[in-house]
C-alpha cells in the first residue's frame, strides 16, 4: 500500500514537472515570437530609413509630409515622464516603506498596506483622466503657461501609479533584514535613525534597487495615462509644461488609426517597439549588474 502511494506521488510530481516545463517553454516561445515579429517588421522600415537618421534625428513626423523619422523626440518625452515619475515615487515610496516597517505598529502597517495597494488596482485610463481634468487645471492656475496636455501632469499621475509598487517591494526588502543586524547597531549606541539610515537601508539595497527597476520599467512602458495626459506632440524639449509624445503613445496613435498595413508609417511602430524593447533590456542588464555588485558587497 505504501509502495503504491509512493508511485502515485512520484507520478504526480512528474506531471507537475512536465506541466511547469511546458509553461516555461511556452513563455520562451511567446517571447521569441514577439521579438521575431518586431525584428522582421523593422527590417522593412530600416531598409528605407537609416539607423543613424532614426536614432539621431530630432524631428518625428512619419504621418505628415515631408516625412521625418528622427525618434529622439519620442525618447525624450518618455525619459522626461519616467524621470519625473521616479522623482515623485521613489522618495515617497521608500519613506512609506520605512514608516511601515520601522516606525508604525504592526497592526497599523498591516491595515495600511492593503489600502496603499488599492492605488495599483485603479485603471490607468482613470489616472489619465484625472490628470486631464484635475491636475492640469490646477497647474494652469499657478503656471498659466502650462499647456492643456503636458509632461508634468503625466509624470505626476505615473508617479502615484507606481508608488504602491515601490512602497510594497521596499517594505518587503526592509523587513527581510535580520533583526540581529538592527540589534547590533543599537548595542553600539546608534539611534533609530542611524540604524535605519546606515544599517537597514544598505542591507536592503539590493531589494530597493530591484523595486526601482520594476517601477522604472512600469513607468517606461505606461501607455494610456501618458497618452491622455501628455498628448501626442512629438517635441524635443526640456520644458515639462509642454505637450510631448512617448514611444508607447505613438504606437497607440498609429495602431488605432487607418494606417495601411505594409506602409512605412505602419512599419515605424515596429521600429519604435523594437527600440522600446532594447532600451528596457539594456536598463535591466545594467540594473542586474548593480544589484549583484551590492549583494557581493553585503556578503
Question: What is the SS3 assignment for 152?
Answer: helix
Q: Who has greater pLDDT, 13 or 24?
A: 24
Percent of the chain with pLDDT over 70: 93
Query: What is the tens place of the pLDDT at every residue in 80-122?
Result: 999 999 999 999 999 988 888 888 778 777 778 777 777 778 8
β-sheet bridge partners, residue 60: 69
* Average pLDDT estimate for 260-267: 81
Pairing verdict, β 68-69 and 60-61 = antiparallel
End-to-end Cα separation, the chain, in angstroms: 48
3-state secondary structure of 64: coil
Interval 201-220: pLDDT, tens: 888 888 888 888 888 888 88
Structure confidence by residue, pLDDT tens digits, 177-194:
888 888 888 888 888 888
Give the whole-angstrom CA distance, residue 273 versus residue 26: 22
Helix then strand then coil, % of the chain, to nearest 5: 75, 0, 20
Q: What is the pLDDT of residues 116-138, one digit of tens each?
A: 777 778 888 888 899 989 999 99
CATH topology of domain 72-298: MetI-like fold (1.10.3720)
d(CA 134, CA 139): 9
Q: How many CB atoms lie within 10 A of CB 180?
A: 8
Q: Which one-letter DSSP state was computed for residue 99?
A: I
- pLDDT-based confidence at residue 2 (cuts at 50, 70, 90): low
Distance CA 163, CA 138 (A): 21
Angstrom distance (rounded) from CA 165 to CA 12: 36
Among the ranges 15-24, 50-59, 153-162, which has the highest mean pLDDT value?
153-162
Cα–Cα distance measured from residue 225 to residue 16, given in angstroms and rounded to the nearest whole number: 40
Average pLDDT over all residues of the chain = 84
* Domain definitions of the chain by residue range: 2-47, 72-298
Query: What pLDDT, on the 0 to 100 scale, is given for residue 296?
Result: 55
Residue 126: other Cβ atoms inside 10 A: 14
The pLDDT value given to residue 85: 93
217: how many CB neighbours lie within 10 A of its CB? 17
Q: Are 281 and 213 within 8 A, CB to CB?
A: no
Amino acid at each position: 500500500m505504501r509502495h503504491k502511494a509512493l508511485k502515485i506521488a512520484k507520478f504526480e510530481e512528474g506531471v507537475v514537472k512536465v506541466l511547469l516545463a511546458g509553461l516555461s517553454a511556452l513563455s520562451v516561445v511567446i517571447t521569441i515570437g514577439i521579438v521575431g515579429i518586431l525584428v522582421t517588421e523593422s527590417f522593412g522600415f530600416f531598409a528605407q530609413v537609416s539607423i543613424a537618421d532614426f536614432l539621431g534625428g530630432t524631428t518625428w513626423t512619419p504621418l505628415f509630409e515631408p516625412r521625418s523619422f528622427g525618434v529622439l523626440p519620442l525618447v525624450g518625452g518618455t525619459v522626461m515622464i519616467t524621470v519625473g515619475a521616479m522623482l515623485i515615487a521613489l522618495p515617497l515610496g521608500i519613506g512609506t516603506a520605512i514608516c511601515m516597517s520601522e516606525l508604525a505598529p504592526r497592526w497599523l502597517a498591516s491595515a495600511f498596506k492593503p489600502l496603499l495597494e488599492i492605488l495599483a488596482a485603479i485603471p490607468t485610463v482613470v489616472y489619465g483622466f484625472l490628470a486631464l481634468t484635475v491636475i492640469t487645471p490646477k497647474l494652469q492656475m499657478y503656471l498659466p503657461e502650462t499647456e492643456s496636455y503636458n509632461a508634468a501632469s503625466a509624470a505626476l499621475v505615473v508617479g502615484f501609479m507606481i508608488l504602491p509598487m515601490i512602497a510594497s517591494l521596499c517594505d518587503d526588502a526592509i523587513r527581510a533584514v535580520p533583526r540581529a543586524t538592527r540589534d547590533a547597531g543599537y548595542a553600539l549606541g546608534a539611534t533609530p535613525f542611524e540604524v535605519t539610515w546606515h544599517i537597514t537601508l544598505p542591507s536592503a539595497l539590493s531589494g530597493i534597487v530591484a523595486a526601482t527597476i520594476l517601477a522604472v520599467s512600469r513607468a517606461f512602458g505606461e501607455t494610456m495615462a501618458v497618452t491622455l495626459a501628455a498628448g501626442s506632440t512629438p517635441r524635443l524639449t526640456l520644458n515639462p509644461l509642454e505637450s510631448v509624445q512617448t514611444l508607447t503613445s505613438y504606437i497607440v496613435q498609429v495602431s488605432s488609426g487607418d494606417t495601411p498595413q505594409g506602409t512605412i508609417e505602419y512599419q515605424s511602430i515596429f521600429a519604435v517597439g523594437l527600440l522600446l524593447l532594447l532600451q528596457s533590456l539594456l536598463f535591466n542588464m545594467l540594473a542586474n549588474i548593480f544589484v549583484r555588485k551590492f549583494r557581493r558587497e553585503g556578503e
